[in-house]
Structure formats: structure tokens, C-alpha cells
Amino acid sequence: MVYLDGAFVDASDARVSVADRGFLFADGVYEVVRVYDGRMVFLEEHLERLRRGLSELTIDWDGAGGLETIARRLLAENGLERSDATLYVQVTRGAPRRRSHTFPEGVRPTVYAAAQAYPRHAAERYRDGVGALLVDDQRWKRRDIKSIALLPNVLANQRAHENGAFEALFVEGGCLLEGSHSNLFAVEDGVAITHPTTTEILPGITRAVVLGLAADVGVEVREEPIPADRLGAFSELFLTGTTTEVMPVTRVDGAPVGDGRPGPVARALQAAYLAHAGVREEDAGRTSAA
Ligand code: PDD
């Protein structure tokens, strides 16, 4: 059961027009919200980012406030009230009669929401770390908008996957910006560094939560660009994201990061993040995803 334009319908019956500007132009934004044991986390923050993206694209839709009720019904209808899951929400500029680059007038945005089971990643990934692959950043210049135009992200992620790595790290202007679907932190001299929230990266909700928790665990943080040529000097790298949580990166392009094992900063923030999100750590990998 999914939600589409005001109705709850069977996923196989859900139909979007071929004239939809999401389909024709990738003219829309999306959010992915994490659900632990049926409980949505950081929903307000995601809704706020959604509102901001819509406003940046001047898509006129004021229904974000109703999404919590829709999400609860989706979780219930799909038997996910006690599951680890994700909630996906997408809003596009809608389906005008004519295809034209110019914004249509009087067209209702298309609103789609779905919930799906999303077990946490295998415990070993969090415990032992994962590999990452460096890729040249070929995205547009407004990465702060969570646009549905994800082709460069998808291509980068696929390359990482085919190379046995968990994530692709976008490199631009000699800096490590973020992953294809996660933000990046580097640790040097015990200080956790992450790219500032410019238009070059997505202002991740998980990133913000982790930054807010750092002081509690005695970790100093700095929001500044991460020079790619300092890779050899970093004792740790880790990713943050809704589906990724706090994930240590222990290899980049096959070479070890630091001593090749997850470090104390990533481990401390991992524990703090899970505690803050109300996740019991012993559940990690209980029903692990592929
Ligand atoms: N990805 N950077 C990019 C490019 C992302 O796509 C994401 C999220 C993040 C992390 O943001 P957050 O902490 O708000 O999830 C950073 C989502 C989960 C996705 O596309 O699946």
C-alpha cells in the first residue's frame, strides 16, 4: 500500500502520468526518513528540509504537515508498526498537459509516499568498517537541494558496488565532499572534520545530529573542507546518513585508513547516535540487509 495524491492504493495500482515533470525533468525533491521498531526518527528535521527544497524550486505545496499521519497509516497498512523501515516521500511539480521547460500554472504537485522494510546493515559493517571508492563529482551545483535527479549518485554508487566498496566518495577541487548517499567525516589529531553546509553538499540530518552529539562524547568538531591529499594523515574516516547511520570507512581505493580499523571517534559517535535515536545496539544485524 502506497500513498499517491491523496489516496492509499495498492502499489501495483499506483499510476503516475507520463506527463509528470518528475518523470520528464526530474523536477522534484524527496526525503528518506528512518523508522526503528515502527518509530520515525528526526521526522521534523526531514520535513523542514523538504519544505526548504520545495521553496528553493518554487514548487507550491503546503502538505508537509500532513505527512506524519500519512506515514503512520503507511506503516500500519504495510504491517511495519514494529519493524525497522524507511519512509520515502517525493513531491514533483506535477503533470501539466504540455511538456515545456517553463513552469506550468495551476498544476497540482504529485505527492508520493511509501514505507518499506529496511533492516539495519550487518553488524560487521559497523564493527569492522567498510570500503569506499573515490569518484570525480559530476553532480549539479545545488547539492544542498535533495533533488530526485540522482543519476551521478547512482552511477558513482554502482561503481563503488562493482569494486566491492560500500560507498563512493565525491571528490571536487581537491576536496572530499560527501558520499553518494551519505555525508563524510575525517579525523585528524582527534578532531572530526566535515565539509561545511554550502551548496556543494546535502545538509544531512544525521550529520547535524552527530555534530550536536560530539561535545557530549568529548569530540572536537570542525566544519571545513576535507583536503583529499590529507587522506594519508587521517586516523579515521566515517560516513553518516539516514540508512547508513554512523559507518566507519576503513579502506579507500583499497588502501587502509589509519591503522585500517574503526577508530575511537567513529565508535564513540556511533554509540551516541544509536542511543540518541533510541536504537538498541545489540539489535544491529539481527535481521541484516544484504
Ligand atoms: N541519502 N548526502 C547525500 C548525497 C545523500 O543522498 C544523503 C541521504 C546524505 C545523508 O543525509 P541524511 O543524514 O539526511 O540521510 C548525504 C538518502 C538516505 C537516500 O538517498 O537514500
Residue whose CA is at the smallest distance from ligand 1 atom 11: 204
Q: Using CA atoms, how far apart are residues 17 and 30, in angstroms rounded to an integer?
A: 18
- Give which of 126, 86, 49, 145 is closest to 284, Cα–Cα: 126
Q: Which helix (H) or strand (E) holds 29?
A: strand 28-36
In the chain, how many H helices and how many E strands?
7, 16
Answer yes or no: are the C-beta atoms of 169 and 179 closer than 8 Å.
yes
Residue whose CB lies within 8 A of the most ligand 1 atoms, among 46, 202, 238, for a mutation test: 202
pLDDT of residue 282: 66
Answer yes or no: are the C-beta atoms of 117 and 60 closer than 8 Å.
no
pLDDT of residue 280: 83
Q: What is the 3-state secondary structure (H, E, C) of 35-73?
A: EECCEEECHHHHHHHHHHHHHHCCCCCCCHHHHHHHHHH
Entry pTM: 0.96
Q: Which atom of ligand 1 is nearest to the CA of 46?
A: 14
Which of 46, 146, 181, 251 is catalytic? The answer is 146
pLDDT of residue 287: 47
Identity at 66, one-letter amino acid code: G
Answer yes or no: are the C-beta atoms of 59 and 109 closer than 8 Å.
yes
Per-residue model confidence as pLDDT tens for the chain (290 residues):
999 999 999 999 999 999 999 999 999 999 999 999 999 999 999 999 999 999 999 999 999 999 999 999 999 999 999 999 999 999 999 999 999 999 999 999 999 999 999 999 999 999 999 999 999 999 999 999 999 999 999 999 999 999 999 999 999 999 999 999 999 999 999 999 999 999 999 999 999 999 999 999 999 999 999 999 999 999 999 999 999 999 999 999 999 999 999 999 999 999 999 999 999 876 554 444 43
Ligand 1 center to 242 CA (angstroms): 6
Residue whose CA is at the smallest distance from ligand 1 atom 16: 182
pLDDT of residue 283: 57
pLDDT of residue 277: 98
Q: Count of CB atoms within 10 A of residue 55's CB?
A: 13
Ligand 1 center to 31 CA (angstroms): 8
pLDDT of residue 253: 98
As given in the structure block, the three cell numbers for residue 138 are: 559530476
Ligand 1 center to 59 CA (angstroms): 21
Q: In degrees rounded to 5, what are phi and psi of residue 153?
A: -65, -45
Answer yes or no: are the C-beta atoms of 60 and 93 closer than 8 Å.
no
pLDDT of residue 288: 45
Instruction: Respond yes or no: is residue 146 known to be catalytic.
Output: yes
Q: Count of CB atoms within 10 A of residue 103's CB?
A: 14
Residue whose CB lies within 8 A of the most ligand 1 atoms, among 143, 182, 239, 269, for a mutation test: 182
pLDDT of residue 289: 45
Q: Count of CB atoms within 10 A of residue 12's CB?
A: 7
- Give which of 70, 144, 78, 77 is closest to 112, Cα–Cα: 70
Edge to edge, the sheet with strand 110-117 lists: 7-9, 2-4, 110-117, 85-92, 28-36, 39-41
Q: What share of the chain is helix, strand, coil (3-state, %, to 5)?
A: 30, 30, 40
